Amino acid sequence: MEQLKKIDLPAIKNIIIVASGKGGVGKSTVSANLSVALTRKGYKTALVDADIYGPSIPKMFGIEDAKIRAEIIEEKEIMFPIEKNGIKITSIGFLVDKSQGLIWRGPMASNVITHLFEKTKWGELDYMIIDFPPGTGDIQLTTIQKLNISGAIIVTTPQEISLNDVRKSISMFKNPDINVPIRGVIENMSWFTPVKHPKEKYFIFGSGGGEKLASEYNTKLLGQIPLITEVGEAGEKGISVFEQNNKEVTSIFEKIVKLMA
């Protein structure tokens, strides 16, 4: 595999990818709330929405209409991330109209994602969280080749069909030419608990998938997030689960931060 020149980001201590093999598993929800949890623990945090074709992070933070400010500094264009909840956020969604569909071939998309990393003024950071798009395409490979990645967190749902897709994503990270360490697995939609019956659990997507995956690849099961209406509603409203004060879910994200730190 051709080795690309790395982007020099010495002021960023940890660059963590949040990935899965398929869409619809709640990866962006995990990325958003994990970033909030890190910030609440005092870590200087940034969140990069690397989904060029379907950016959702602006919506989840209630900043869809925000636009990135750019300046020419020492003859170079520098972009300044949008800040919300103490997190420095960047996304292609801040550069194009939210109703505009992007029709870009791989090389153009790769150039844009490189531009987001290279031309943004990040400052000193403890963590940069990168919300990957589904799959194992040009965006993923360019990001991995251009940055010094500290590790990847894998998001899955419990059912076997999700695990099969996630395994493809993990195989990319474990490719000898890439070799990104897997920092752990997060199982989303682990069970459903009715509001009126808080002690009951219904495993509507099966059970044990996250644990099985973590064991397969000799890594940690960082957390299991239940299927709760409030979690989805938070993203729709542009707020985090911490702002909803859902103690069950916030405690899970706090535990994840402890295990990954």
Q: Is the pLDDT of residue 1 over 80?
A: no
Residue 19 class from Cβ within 10 Å (0-12 exposed, 13-18 middle, 19+ buried)? buried
Which residue has 């997060």 as its token pair? Answer: 186
The whole model's pTM is what?
0.92
pLDDT level of residue 97 (50, 70, 90 thresholds)? low
Which residue has 């595999």 as its token pair? Answer: 1
Residue 78: CB atoms within 10 Å: 13
Percentage above 70 pLDDT, the chain: 93
Q: Is the pLDDT of residue 131 over 80?
A: yes
**Best CA proximity match to 238, nearest among 48, 79, 85, 99:** 85
- CB-CB contact of 4 with 11 (8 Å): no
Beta bridge partners of 128: 15, 46
| pLDDT of the residue at 104 | 55
**Best CA proximity match to 128, nearest among 230, 55, 219, 48:** 48
Average pLDDT, the chain: 89
Please state which of the ranges 127-141, 165-179, 199-213, 227-241 shows the lowest mean pLDDT.
227-241
Q: Which residue has better confidence, 169 or 137?
A: 169
Percentage above 90 pLDDT, the chain: 58
Q: What is the mean pLDDT of residues 70-92?
A: 91
Q: What is the mean pLDDT of residues 191-197?
A: 84
Q: What is the mean pLDDT of residues 38-61?
A: 93
Q: What is the mean pLDDT of residues 196-205?
A: 86
| pLDDT of the residue at 99 | 55
- Contact residues for 73 (Cβ-Cβ < 8 A; gap 6+): none
Q: Is the pLDDT of residue 83 over 90?
A: yes
Ordered domains of the chain (ranges, CATH): 12-260 (3.40.50.300)
Q: Is the pLDDT of residue 77 over 90?
A: no
Rg (the chain; Cα; Å): 18
**Best CA proximity match to 154, nearest among 176, 141, 171, 138:** 171
pLDDT level of residue 57 (50, 70, 90 thresholds)? very high
In whole angstroms, what is the distance from residue 3 CA to residue 108 CA? 18
